[in-house]
């Protein structure tokens, strides 16, 4: 007969993360980069302000379960909201500042946000949809004191019936401690919406339990191995999948936070890295591509890094190799989704392999991390073997993976308790995932599949190429063929002939694109991925200058 355990049953809560950091690491630092230098605070000071924020929100009628949105860059006040909003029992809703106006209004209204915390610099963006926001009762403006006058605040007055507050005045006079409630660990702690590349964005609601477990997963040695000796540079936006969980994980283990605010361009980022010496960072490949080109031209010391996490889209091998060879920085690729909190795999090479062999693992999306499960599924729904060859849709499940969307029925995205990722790929016997494409982006040419991801990665290894995206376009003979969309590196003029020659020993000959277009930039989605939908629309509208080469 089974027996009951003797373990205490204490809930996993954001307030537990907050209080642990406050009590155990009161002197750890939160550093926000500004236009005129950096502002530093201790954990003890940030925790006190998080408590003041909770009191202030309670004072304007926010109760457990109410949604409090943030429309902010990465900075200390945003971190205070991360901690205080959820710890008091409200639900923090991070609004993506890169959404189209219609999508932004949809997310606010669909989530029924009661309060919005907004950076003064972002007021014009919210102002575009202010009159459409039907549930917002209070708007709290962060920063801009002394610079942001009545005229700058005027767009917010179009929000029907909303009261406008200044953040510092909003907090002033409130107690610096809070009697955090003991909540159900499965209650909602925060929420985010997918980028909405097809249809309306879909809401994912994270629980206290899922967030805590995900933060613990980030701290593990096989992921980021965080400790209080680290200083974490969160370039990944705090409005994107909870900053990949880095905000919670770093606070829980007492690591310093380095927050770049709106200064995400290569020059200010490199200056911040050289001045503040972070040991860990997280950002999408386009950020690190820009940093690499800046460092190559100007020189820089990035030697403080022991680990750079990179994800959001496939990380080119050439980018990782150049960072390692030229700057001594080790990039580790990770994969995840808004729906997975987001970390699902991390590409560290297994033990026992040579340096040369390790690269085949590092360029994969990574090994399935502790706490989640993955599988490959064929078109008929059958689970495929982990042999590194069988290609199908990747599915995932686990305690920090969503089981449904908020107030939206989407049965096509779920399969008997598994989340269908929409990614196509393989899993090998060691648990390494290799994504060959998004299901909507695979190119079927003459009945055979071409991986746009592999082509892009190969193209971005060309020394004259800054970025490249590949889409499938109609072909009278082969049904579909790849169109390579290329951004040249500064001062370079790559040609289709030179790039086809470069690719010739890297991919199958029949993969080589006949169609090429050179663009000033690759459009990005709100989360920094290549916007291939927009590229396809531009191609079909004749808005791309396409060069077609003879193949002989």
What residues are annotated to the active site? 194, 339, 444, 449
Which 8-state DSSP code applies to residue 412?
Answer: G
* Alpha-carbon gap, residue 527 to 15, rounded angstroms: 28
| 252 in Cβ contact with 215 (< 8 Å) | yes
* Alpha-carbon gap, residue 433 to 450, rounded angstroms: 18
Closest-CA residue to 388 (of 342, 423, 426): 426
| 288 in Cβ contact with 310 (< 8 Å) | yes
* Alpha-carbon gap, residue 248 to 359, rounded angstroms: 30
Burial code of 112-147, b = ≥16 C-beta within 10 A, e = fewer? Answer: ebbbbbbbbbbbebbbebbebbebbbbbbbbbbeee
Helix (H) or strand (E) holding 77: helix 76-87
Closest-CA residue to 314 (of 463, 425, 414, 440): 425
Burial code of 373-385, b = ≥16 C-beta within 10 A, e = fewer? Answer: ebbbbeeeeeebe
* Alpha-carbon gap, residue 189 to 209, rounded angstroms: 9
Q: How far is CA 420 from CA 126, 158, 503, in A?
A: 33, 40, 32
* Alpha-carbon gap, residue 148 to 291, rounded angstroms: 32
Closest-CA residue to 189 (of 67, 16, 79, 63): 67
* Alpha-carbon gap, residue 332 to 358, rounded angstroms: 12
- Pairing assessment for the beta strands 443-445 and 448-450 based on DSSP bridges: antiparallel
Backbone angles phi and psi of 223, in degrees to 5? -110, -85
């Amino acid at each position: 007969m089974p027996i009951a355990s003797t373990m205490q049953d204490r809930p996993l809560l954001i307030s537990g993360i907050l209080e642990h950091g406050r009590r155990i690491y009161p002197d750890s630092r939160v550093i926000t980069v500004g236009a005129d230098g950096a502002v530093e605070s201790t954990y003890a000071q940030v925790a006190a302000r998080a408590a003041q924020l909770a009191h202030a929100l309670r004072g304007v009628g926010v109760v457990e379960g109410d949604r409090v949105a943030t429309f902010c860059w990465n900075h200390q006040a945003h971190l205070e909201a991360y901690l205080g909003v959820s710890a008091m029992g409200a639900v923090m809703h991070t609004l993506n500042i890169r959404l189209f106006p219609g999508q932004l209004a949809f997310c606010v209204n669909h989530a029924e946000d009661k309060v919005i915390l907004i950076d003064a610099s972002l007021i014009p963006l919210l102002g575009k949809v202010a009159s459409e926001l039907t549930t917002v009762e209070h708007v709290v403006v962060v920063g801009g004191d002394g610079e942001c006058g009545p005229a700058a605040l005027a767009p917010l007055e179009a929000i029907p019936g909303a009261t406008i507050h200044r953040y510092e005045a909003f907090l002033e006079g409130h107690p610096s401690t809070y009697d955090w409630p003991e909540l159900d660990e499965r209650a909602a702690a925060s929420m985010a919406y997918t980028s909405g590349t097809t249809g309306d964005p879909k809401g994912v609601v994270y629980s206290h339990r899922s967030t805590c477990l995900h933060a613990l997963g980030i701290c593990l040695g096989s992921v980021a191995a965080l400790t209080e000796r680290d200083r974490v540079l969160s370039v990944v936006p705090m409005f994107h999948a909870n900053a990949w969980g880095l905000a919670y994980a770093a606070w829980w283990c007492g690591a310093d936070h380095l927050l770049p605010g709106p200064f995400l361009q290569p020059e200010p980022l490199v200056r911040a890295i050289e001045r503040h010496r972070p040991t860990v960072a997280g950002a999408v490949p386009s950020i690190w591509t820009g940093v690499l080109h800046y460092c190559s031209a100007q020189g820089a010391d990035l030697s403080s890094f022991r680990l750079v996490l990179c994800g959001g889209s496939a990380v080119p091998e050439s980018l990782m190799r150049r960072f390692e060879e030229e700057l001594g920085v080790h990039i580790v690729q990770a994969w995840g989704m808004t729906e997975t909190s987001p970390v699902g795999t991390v590409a560290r090479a297994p033990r026992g392999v040579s340096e040369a062999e390790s690269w085949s693992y590092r360029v994969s999306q990574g090994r399935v991390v502790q706490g989640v499960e993955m599988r490959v599924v064929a078109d008929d729904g059958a689970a495929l073997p982990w042999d590194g060859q069988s290609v199908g849709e990747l599915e995932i499940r686990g305690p920090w993976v969503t089981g449904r969307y908020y107030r939206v029925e989407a049965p096509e995205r779920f399969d008997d308790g598994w989340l269908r990722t929409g990614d196509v790929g393989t899993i090998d016997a060691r648990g390494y995932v290799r994504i060959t494409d998004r299901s909507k982006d695979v190119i079927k040419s003459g009945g055979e599949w071409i991986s746009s991801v592999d082509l892009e990665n190969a193209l971005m290894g060309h020394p004259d190429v800054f970025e490249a995206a590949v889409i499938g376009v109609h072909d009278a003979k082969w049904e579909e063929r790849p169109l390579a969309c290329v951004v040249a590196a500064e001062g370079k003029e790559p040609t289709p002939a030179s790039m086809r020659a470069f690719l010739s020993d890297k991919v199958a000959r029949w993969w080589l694109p006949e169609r090429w277009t050179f663009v000033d930039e690759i459009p990005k989605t709100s989360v920094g991925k290549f916007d291939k939908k927009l590229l396809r629309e531009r191609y079909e509208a004749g808005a791309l200058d396409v060069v077609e080469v003879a193949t002989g």
